[in-house]
Structure 1
Amino acid sequence: METKVMRLAGLASILCLLLVSGGCGERKVEERKEKVTDLLGRQVEVAIPAKRIVAIGPGTLRLVCYLQAASKVVGVEDAEKRWQPFEGRPYLLANPQLRDLPVIGSGGPGSNPDPERLALVRPDVVFATYLLDRGQADQLQQKARVPVVVLSYGELSTFSAEVEESILLLGKLIGEEKRAAEVVGYMKRCFEDLSRRVKDIPVSAKPRIYVGGLGARGSHGIESTQAKFPPLVALRAKNVADESGREGSVMVDREKLLQWDPEVIVLDEVALPLILSDYKKNPDFYRRLRAVKEGRVYGQLPFNYYATNIENTLANAYWLGSLLYPRAFRDVDPVRKAEEIYSFLLGRPLYQDVARAYGGFKKVEFK
């Protein structure tokens, strides 16, 4: 009897070892390392999927939030905690817990990453945009002893190939490939829908439009605009700034704006207090503009705030479409569409919060 019990105990021990080695109980996932090419063309070896991540530089954390991966973030820049109102960066409204994480550097345009602070939070990978060139990225990787993968918004951000590539690469490295494909697909469908609605509108029926007060490394007045402004590209609109022959941010001389004299002016609401203050000092300039005289000046949600708010840009595109081509957008409620966009990209309807802070979709009154 004793021998039988001992034999059974021995068999049980062997069976237990076989089950553990075969994956019973807590299965140890083998670390898979892969070399990827980042948006600077650098080859970086990363353990996939990364579970602990840091996102530094303008706009990087926003892309992480689009992939519903805020829980993987282990540290944030001080700028993300300090710069207010948070409504200017809706990804922080949707993920307020990010502001409670350890600080891993100062953040902000032109700031230098802090390799020591980065190392302290033990990330599997650091994602970055704009702050780093090839040499700086390699140097940070060497000092922090963490893979550094550089992403990009491109020159024109929303609808750009660089944004698409960045989202897909990010998704691959953090195990969110399905969500990344969904996000890219949603953005493409928005672009296609906007373009489809306006494709048959003749050029002669399109009003000339100017978008002013766009942020570019800070807040600026009415002179700050963009040529090839993404929402207007999608809408095939007549953006007077395109006549500059440039692409991206443009600072326009006031005389040039008077010369263009657009029929519609849209002002970014981050800069609206600055522009209305300037109006009080220089009312004659503004009163000479046709759009001001005819009451066709409107506000839009913050476009750039630590890089481009892509969700706001998509919402703005539908708002601008309804202003420029009301018949083509007669079935669109811009506020409801904005809430749909926020809900898909950031998981929550946020329009009312942003509108309370900045004004939302409205006509701008010069008083």
Structure 2
Amino acid sequence: MNKKIIIIVVMLLIIISSLALYTSTLKTNSGNQTQITDMLGRDVQVPINVSRVASFSNSVTVMLYMLAPNKLIGWDSNRSATQNKYMDTQYQTLPVLGGGKKDANYETFISMNPDVVFVGHGTTVNDVNDMQEKLGVIPLLDVEGDNNLTNIDDSITFIGKIVGEEKKASNLVSFHQKMLSEVTSKTASIPESEKKRVYYARDSTGLMTNPSGSSHTQLIDICGGINVADVPVTKGTVGVSIEQVLKWNPDIMIVSDLTFYQNVYSDPLWQNVKAVQDKQVYLVPNSPFNWFENPPGANTILGIPWTAKVLYPDKFSDMDLKNLTQEFYSSFYYYNLTDDELNSIITSSGLKL
């Protein structure tokens, strides 16, 4: 009987020891996670130490690069050689994962084993929950305001917290607030009758634009201009006729397509537009990211001083765009521009040094 009792006691001790080890393991695993409330109010468990991140949304991907480039595991869409011109090669060669929210390449995202995946504005809670189900155990966090300069600071701060770059996020928010303050303090007093009338040409024909009120043309409003494309706001671009552009007769044209910019002054179709006649057509810099839109987001923060100088060069003659560009690229694009590169970016856009 004593032997049986001893055996039973030993077995119980083994079981208790195993349970203690299992409980300890559970606590350790739980200790590696923390609960985050995303910007749609969803409670999500994420790793405390996040080292691999990806995004379904272009604007959020750009922010991830600006805040934590070494944690970004891939781009959500293809990048051109032109876009890669002012980007370190180690980031140029990141794989393309294939974003697009609902129609994203989920298999590729899962195979890359990210710690966290982000999705940007424009999704409902049900949409995000469906996307989370497709991602399985990989946590998905929603970001709101990532495409809107009027409330982008919260999204920058949120992402900075997740990726462990609160200081970098704070610096980007400070740069943004400084630019907004400097520009709006001067443009707020411009009478409506004296505001520059601006047309934004998006494509190689010059006849695709984004209307007033669109997030894609926010910089015109922020910098005290009037977007002449007074047509119903849509999510995408709208096509217009040259006759309509002639009726609007803008003072300034901002364009994103290099081919159109190179040809607009010699194209007979555009010769009677005031901006063309006055040599007031400007090309948006777009390496490593577009300064004006595409996507609208944190990359357009540097577009605030650029657009201000395009619209009102006399009012902003004391604003040193070269120094601001150098600072922004060094701090948030991790690229130190040479003097020649810096001069080329600014003069190629149509601005004078």
Over 3 Å counting, the alpha-carbon distance change for 1:266 and 1:140 in structure 2 is closer
Shift of 1:47: 2.5
The answer to whether the 8 A contact 1:227-1:244 is kept is: yes
Question: Are 1:231 and 2:219 matched, yes or no?
Answer: yes
5 Å-filtered alignment, 1:267-306, equals 267-268=255-256, 271-274=257-260, 276=262, 283-302=267-286, 303=290
2:113 to 119, 122, 142: 122
Does 1:308 pair with 2:308? no
SS at match of 1:88: coil
The CA deviation at 1:288 is: 1.8
- Alignment of 1:98 with 2:98, yes or no, is no
Provide TM-score, normalisation by structure 2.
0.74
Measured on the aligned residues, the alpha-carbon RMSD in Å equals: 3.6
Paired letter, 1:96: T
Residue 192 (1) aligns with residue 193 (2): no
For 1:131 and 1:99, the matched residues in 2 are separated by 28
Matched, 1:183 2:172: yes
Q: Which residue of 2 aligns with 1:42?
A: 42
Q: Secondary structure of 1:49's match?
A: coil
* Alpha-carbon shift at residue 295 of structure 1 (Å): 2.1
TM-superposition CA deviations, 1:215-268 (whole Å, max 9, x none): xxxx76343134242222222222223x33647755233322111111222222
Shift in Å, 1:135: 4.2
Give the whole-Å Cα distance in 2 for the aligned partners of 1:321 and 1:63.
23
Output the amino acid matched with 1:291: A
CA distance in 2, matches of 1:326, 1:357: 17
Q: Deviations over 1:184-229 (max 9, x none)?
A: 2221221111111223333333332222226xxxx76343134242
Match for residue 337 of structure 1? 324
Q: CA–CA distance in 1 between the matches of 2:50 and 2:294?
A: 25
Partner secondary structure for residue 302 of structure 2: helix
In structure 2, distance between residues paired with 1:72 and 1:265: 38
Q: Kindly indicate whether the alpha-carbon contact (under 8 Å) linking 1:209 and 1:264 is maintained by their aligned counterparts in 2.
A: yes
State the alpha-carbon separation in 1 of the partners of residues 208 and 344 from structure 2.
25
Match status 1:260 vs 2:244: no
Q: Look up the equivalent residue of 1:31 and give its one-letter code.
A: N
Quickly say closer, same or farther: Cα 1:276–1:327, change in 2 above 3 A.
closer
Query: Aligned to 1:88, which of 75, 83, 103?
Result: 83
Question: Using the alignment, how far apart are the partners of 2:341 and 2:198 within structure 1?
Answer: 27
- The structure-2 alpha-carbon separation of the partners of 1:209 and 1:274, relative to structure 1 and needing over 3 Å to count, comes to closer
The unaligned stretches of length 5 or more in structure 2 are 1-28
How many aligned residue pairs are there? 315
Q: Residues of 1 paired with 2:333 and 2:109: CA distance?
A: 26
Q: Which residue of 1 aligns with 2:231?
A: 244
| Structure 1 residue 57: Cα displacement | 2.8
Q: Which amino acid in the other structure matches residue 58 of structure 1?
A: N
Measure, in 1, the Cα distance between the counterparts of 2:237 and 2:105: 32
Contact 1:221 1:274 in 2 (8 A): yes
Structure 1 unaligned segments of length 5 or more: list them: 1-27
Does the Cα contact within 8 Å between 2:261 and 2:281 map onto a contact in 1?
no
Any idea what SS the aligned residue of 1:44 has? strand
Q: What secondary structure is seen at the aligned counterpart in 2 of 1:262?
A: coil
Q: 1:224, 1:250 within 8 Å by CA — same for their partners in 2?
A: yes
CA contact (8 A) 1:159 1:191 kept: no
User: What TM-score, normalized to structure 1?
Assistant: 0.72
**CA distance, structure 2, for counterparts of residue 306 and residue 266 of structure 1:** 14
Aligned counterparts of 2:343 and 2:235: Cα–Cα separation in 1 = 26
Q: Say if 2:156 is the partner of 1:167.
A: yes
Q: Is the 8 A contact 2:57 2:76 kept in 1?
A: no
Q: Distance in 2 between matches of 1:327 and 1:309?
A: 27
- CA–CA separation in structure 2 for the residues paired with 1:306 and 1:139: 27
Alignment CA distance shift 1:235-1:78 (3 Å): closer
| Partner SS, residue 190 of structure 2 | coil
**Quick one: structure 1 residues 232 and 258, their matched pair in 2 at CA, closer, same or farther if it must change by over 3 Å?**
same
Indicate whether 1:137 and 2:132 are aligned. Answer: no
> What does residue 212 of structure 1 align with?
201
- The answer as to 2:113 corresponding to 1:113 is no
Partner of 2:52: 52
Q: Is the CA contact 1:36–1:46 (under 8 Å) kept in the aligned structure 2?
A: no
SS at match of 1:210: strand
1:63–1:167 contact (8 Å) kept in structure 2 = yes
Deviation at 1:150, TM superposition (A): 2.3
CA contact (8 A) 2:190 2:224 kept: no
Instruction: Determine which of 301, 306, 317 is the counterpart of 2:304.
Output: 317
CA distance in 1, matches of 2:63, 2:187: 29
| Structure 2 counterpart of 1:149 | 141
